[in-house]
């Protein structure tokens, strides 16, 4: 047997049995964003490799070892986007959208060459929100509020909001020195990973999951204690806003970011129900990025949400929507009935927008067609056989509820269906 083609490792087909949950979540997201006055933007999946190096940071794991980068036929260095913010900022600068505040959202596949595991895939989908030109904590608060609303609308339980402030770059630099000094004083107790990061990315040491380091890290100097007045006020205002809106949160002084462009507010929505990949949604402020990519200095804040993880949570909590089964399954037996069926079905669709009508194809007797009707999940079977054609009627049989099969004259069918099946 010749080897059958397989999907690329870490890249999954989303099958018909799964698309209803996806569609449900995507519809909620779209409605949510419309409700808050955000506009959709769509960017290419490919960008110049340099864009990601300049934004995400040269020494991050993403850029160093996880990007799908290649040269195209012109020899240009291209990369399948590993996240959405960089491309969104690029698009905004390129099209001059930043002369006024912008509230944007997008959605689509992202690519990172990581070892696949639960909640982590090489092609995955992110929903992202970015707000530009708004420097204050009010917009930070809005982003958190709208994410909290999403969990409520989906019915999700068990998500915890973690919050921190990374301060301004100067404040972070001072803190960084103190942290390094502290960690070096305890270097003998650190694990190999942490010692390596001590110089490359010391803030990330705080992220370590190694329980042996808990005491050392617990005693480390705290970033929050190194904030300047303005940074502190920004953070306090955000917290006050969350309090006022009744959103509970946990201040997590060790919450940092893997991407270089973040400052001030950072937050994560975390769950313990998805195994090791517990972050469902994460974001923060990145006031420096627009200028860093060649635009005018523009404050910015955003977050990204992992759709696979959200889908997994929705399923884990049994919140999947019921599938949209047909209202009607048209059973047509015999040559004459089969020939009439498409015309009758189209005429019903013309007169009854919103009708979900599946027409049987492929012939067969009543028995097999009814079997298909049942499998389709349809509420009723609409039946056309020789008898019905002769009498100018259609049979209508309930498949999900008690009740006898009845005959309805073809000309009365639209009105009848409108009232009894569509309920209007």
Partner RNA sequence: GUGGACGUAGCUCAGCUGGUAGAGCGCAGGAUUGUGGUUCCUGUGGUCGUGGGUUCGAUCCCCAUCGUCCACCCCA
Q: Return residues touching RNA (CB under 7 A).
A: 1, 6-7, 9-10, 12, 60-62, 66, 83, 112, 114-121, 124, 126, 193, 197, 204, 207-210, 257-259, 268, 275-282, 304-306, 308-309, 333, 364-368, 370-375, 381, 383, 385-388, 395, 397, 399-400, 405
Pick the closer one to RNA by CB: 194 or 246: 194
Give the CA radius of gyration of the chain.
Answer: 28
Separation CA 371–CA 384 (nearest Å): 15
Pick the closer one to RNA by CB: 244 or 401: 401
Q: What letters, b where the CB count within 10 A reaches 16 and e where it falls short, cover 227-253?
A: beeebbebbeebbebbeeeeeebeebb
- Structure tokens of 256? 């940092």
CB of 106 to RNA, least distance (A): 13
Pick the closer one to RNA by CB: 210 or 230: 210
Pick the closer one to RNA by CB: 155 or 365: 365
CB of 264 to RNA, least distance (A): 16
Pick the closer one to RNA by CB: 256 or 352: 256
CB of 307 to RNA, least distance (A): 7
DSSP line for 335-404? HHHHHHHHHHHHHHHHHSTT--EEE--S---HHHHHHHHHHTT-SEEEEE-HHHHHHTEEEEEESSSS--
Give Dmax (Cα) for the chain: 95
- Structure tokens of 406? 């009845």
- Structure tokens of 203? 């803030």
CB of 134 to RNA, least distance (A): 21
Q: In this structure, are residues 235 and 264 in contact, taking their beta carbons and an 8 Å threshold? A: yes
Separation CA 244–CA 246 (nearest Å): 6
CB of 14 to RNA, least distance (A): 13
CB of 306 to RNA, least distance (A): 2
Helix (H) or strand (E) holding 162: strand 160-165
DSSP 382: E
Pick the closer one to RNA by CB: 175 or 303: 303
Pick the closer one to RNA by CB: 9 or 296: 9
CB of 333 to RNA, least distance (A): 7
């Amino acid at each position: 047997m010749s080897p059958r083609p397989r999907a690329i490792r870490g890249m999954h087909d989303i099958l018909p049995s799964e698309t209803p949950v996806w569609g449900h979540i995507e519809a909620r997201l779209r409605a949510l964003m419309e409700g808050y006055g955000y506009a959709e933007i769509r960017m290419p999946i490919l960008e110049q490799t340099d864009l990601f190096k300049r934004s995400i940071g040269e020494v991050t794991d993403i850029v160093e070892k996880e990007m799908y980068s290649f040269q195209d036929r012109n020899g240009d260095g291209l990369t399948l986007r590993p996240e959405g913010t960089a491309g969104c900022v690029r698009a905004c600068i390129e099209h001059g959208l930043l002369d006024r505040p912008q509230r944007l959202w997008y959605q689509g596949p992202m690519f990172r060459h990581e070892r696949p595991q639960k909640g982590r895939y090489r092609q995955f989908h992110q929903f992202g929100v970015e707000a530009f030109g708004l420097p204050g904590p009010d917009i930070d608060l809005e982003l958190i509020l709208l994410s909290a609303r999403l969990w409520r609308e989906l019915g999700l339980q068990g998500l915890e909001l973690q919050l921190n402030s990374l301060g301004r770059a100067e404040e972070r630099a001072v803190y960084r020195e103190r942290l390094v000094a502290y960690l070096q004083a305890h270097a003998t107790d650190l694990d190999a990973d942490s010692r390596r990061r001590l110089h490359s990315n010391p803030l990330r040491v705080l992220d370590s999951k190694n329980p042996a380091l808990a005491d050392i890290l617990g005693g480390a100097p705290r970033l929050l204690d190194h904030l300047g007045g303005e940074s502190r006020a920004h953070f306090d205002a955000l917290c006050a806003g969350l309090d006022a809106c009744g959103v509970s949160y946990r201040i997590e002084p060790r919450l940092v970011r893997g991407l270089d462009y973040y400052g001030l507010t950072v937050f994560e929505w975390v769950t313990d129900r998805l195994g090791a990949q517990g972050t469902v949604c994460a974001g923060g402020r990145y006031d420096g990025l627009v200028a860093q990519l060649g635009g005018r200095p523009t404050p910015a804040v955003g977050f990204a949400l992992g759709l696979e993880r959200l889908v997994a949570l929705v399923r884990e909590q049994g919140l999947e929507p019921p599938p949209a089964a047909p209202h009607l399954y048209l059973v047509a037996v015999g040559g004459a009935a089969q020939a009439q069926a498409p015309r009758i079905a189209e005429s019903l669709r013309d007169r009854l927008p919103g009708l979900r009508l599946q027409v049987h194809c492929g012939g067969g007797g009543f028995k097999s067609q009814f079997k298909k009707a049942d499998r389709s999940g349809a509420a009723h079977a609409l039946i056309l056989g020789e008898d019905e054609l002769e009498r100018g009627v259609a049979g209508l049989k309930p498949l999900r509820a008690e009740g006898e099969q009845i005959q309805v004259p073809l000309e009365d069918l639209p009105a009848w269906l409108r009232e009894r099946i569509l309920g209007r």
